[in-house]
Structure 1
Amino acid sequence: MDINTTPNNFEVSNFRNISNNPGYNSQPSFADNENLLFAGTQNGQTEIMQFAINLKEKKRINMPTNGGEYSPQKFPKSNKIAAVRLDTTGVQGLYAYDYDNLENGKNKLLLPNVEVAYFAFHDNARIIASELGGNQLNLIIANLETNLVENYISNSGRSIHNVPNSNSVSYTLINEDKNHDIYLLDIDGDKESYFVCQLPVGIQDHCWLSETKLVLGSGSKLYEYNLFGNQEWKEVADLSSFNISEITRIAVSPNGKRLALVAETKQ
């Protein structure tokens, strides 16, 4: 959907269902302002899918592998895509794919021996990721060029995002009440973390509209949190008229003018 946000308004337009596909269709991320990546089911397997927004065209952009690809994201400053691959053997890892020539099937394992579950780029070399660790996820900071991995904190969540126009990354931790708290990590500075707010009960996902505003979905509604506002989640849009419910993952385009979300369609 297209979005237009002002201090007192949140307008939604051009809402459309871009997957219309049975199976798993989730984990959206914008490669740029005109192309959306997501993990989508094709022929019974999860692949890297791309939707060209202006052309209204959807296609698979990777050669099928022995496993399924998840959480596709473009490298910030190169024509490569990273995705989590879950092989049929149960081994899970982060791989790089050549965005310029994806059909050649070439890919490269990043961070050997690290079972990345969810991640976000901070820059071309560094990612912040939740790594599989027994019955929980643990947050790591990893350098893809040197393979240096720093264990940062345990019991993290799946929602990790670069904060626009800043040196910070947001991540979530599971608190004592089993709810998710959002923290900011200054990755270029002292690597200290700062508490931002708690996500609403039962919600795991968030993203950033700007350097000071967060957005999330709950049920069929969108909520906004302003770091310099009333310090509470405020309803800004009701999408029930579009026949959806149970919003989960959410992503905003680099220019802040488009929003993608994952939801169930009402029967």
Structure 2
Amino acid sequence: MRLLFLGLLAVSSAVFGQTNPEIFLMEVSNDLGEFKISNFRNITNNEGYDSQPSFSDNNTLLFAGTENGQTEIMSYYLKNNTTLRINKPTSGGEYSPQKFPNNNEIAAVRLDTTGLQRLYAYKNSTIEQGTSRILLNNLEVAYYAFHDNNRIIASVLGGNQLNLVIANLKTGEVMPYLENSGRSIHNIPNSTSVSYTAVNEDGNNDVFIVDIDDDKESYFVCQLPIGIEDHCWLNESILLLGSGARLYKYDFYGKQEWVEVANLSNYNISEISRITVSPNGKNIALVANINN
């Protein structure tokens, strides 16, 4: 049965949170369930908005970063510690960059100075570097994840809340799926399923799983701690999230409760917001504030 949740969620036209966050990268191991981190570093160290990281492969991290006072699509290369801009500068700002699964294009949400918010595809090749084309002309995409090269599952603006849809980039078909969704949408490693968050009756976020290739039924996983909006997957059975300066995991094959695995307060950070894991599970990128 389709899961519908009704309620109100204040959503600005930008739908993007912190004003001066930084992106931090660390190596991670989880051998025999023992969570260890190393080589923790700030990879942006930049005035302005640096957030919304996503790994395009094990060596490349995309993110929305500030350059010359404007938010652009930035690409950080782990092997040589360099950062490059992907898109040609526009009058608007680019957010939520993600690589298409099976080509070199990069998708991103563009928020124009007119208030228009649309999903675009950007070329990432030496010949047409940074040129763009609009996707889904009439849909105000806020957050999304690719299911394959043609389909995304996305939270879109709908009045004063977000609503989840399944959209086909090739045909333009949009299937409404859920009202009052959250912003955290992720592919599950070694799986054809996607996880998403939905706002429950108490105003907190629940995590659900859906396989849009199968019956499109949703299955409840767990509730995120109060006030937490984001999650990600370390592997096919372990979820991760950040709260304050700490990391927590939820293990399907363990206690099935949120357990603290790392305290990062010694790195002088706080207010972890977003978090993502490299495809091989060896690196974590997260967004946080630096304590003054």
- Shorter-chain TM-score tier: over 0.9
TM-score normalized by structure 1? 0.98
- 1:57-72 superposed matches below 5 A: 57-72=82-97
1:148 aligns with 2:173: yes
Q: Structure 2 residue aligned with 1:29, among 40, 54, 65?
A: 54
Identity across the alignment (%):
65
Counterpart of 1:239?
A: 264
* Residue matched to 1:206: 231
**CA RMSD of superposed structures (Å):** 1.0
- For the residues of structure 1 that align with 2:284 and 2:62, how far apart are their CA atoms? 12
- Taking the aligned partners of 1:99 and 1:179, their CA distance within structure 2 comes to 38
Q: Distance in 2 between matches of 1:185 and 1:102?
A: 38
Normalization by structure 2: what TM-score?
0.90
Question: 2:35 is paired with a residue of what secondary structure?
Answer: strand
What is the SS of the residue equivalent to 1:55? Answer: coil
Match for 1:87 among 112, 123, 131?
112
CA contact (8 A) 1:61 1:103 kept: no
Secondary structure, aligned partner of 1:158: strand
Question: 1:196 and 1:30 mapped to 2: Cα distance?
Answer: 24
Q: How far apart are residue 187 of structure 1 and its match?
A: 1.0
Among 54, 59, 79, the alignment partner of 2:79 is 54
Q: How does 1:10-25 map to 2 (within 5 A)?
A: 10-25=35-50
Deviations 1:90-114 (A, max 9, x none): 0000000111148644201001100
What residue in structure 1 maps to residue 241 of structure 2?
216
1:73 equivalent in structure 2: 98
SS in 2 for 1:49: strand
For 1:109, give the aligned amino acid.
I
Contact 1:69 1:85 in 2 (8 A): yes
2:199 to 171, 174, 181: 174
Instruction: Provide structure 2 residue ranges, at least 5 long, that are not aligned to the other structure.
Output: 1-25
The answer to whether the aligner puts 1:122 opposite 2:122 as a matched pair is no
Residue type of the partner of 1:196? V
Give the corresponding residue for 1:249.
274
1:165 matches 2:190: yes
Q: 1:173-216 CA distances to partner (integer Å, 9 max, x unpaired)?
A: 00111100000011110000000000001000000011111000
Judging changes above 3 Å, is the alpha-carbon distance between structure 1 residues 119 and 148 closer, same or farther for their aligned structure 2 residues?
A: same
Return the letter of the residue paired with 2:165: I
Asked if 1 retains the 8 angstrom alpha-carbon contact of 2:124 and 2:130, the reply is no
Please, which moves more after superposition, 72-81 or 104-113? 104-113
1:15 and 1:118, CA in 2 relative to 1: closer, same or farther beyond 3 A?
same
Could you tell which deviates more after superposition, 54-63 or 131-140?
A: 54-63
Q: Give the counterpart letter for 2:92 in structure 1.
A: G
- Structure 1: gaps of 5 or more residues: none
Count of residues in correspondence between the two structures: 267
Aligned mates of 1:34, 1:8 — CA distance in 2:
25
Runs of 4+ in structure 1 deviating by more than 6 angstroms, as ranges, are none
Aligned residue runs from structure 1 range 186-205, under 5 A: 186-205=211-230
For the pair 1:97 / 2:122, whether they are aligned, the reply is: yes
* CA displacement at 1:167 relative to structure 2: 1.3
Q: SS in structure 2 opposite 1:77?
A: coil
| Residue type at the aligned position of 2:223 | Q
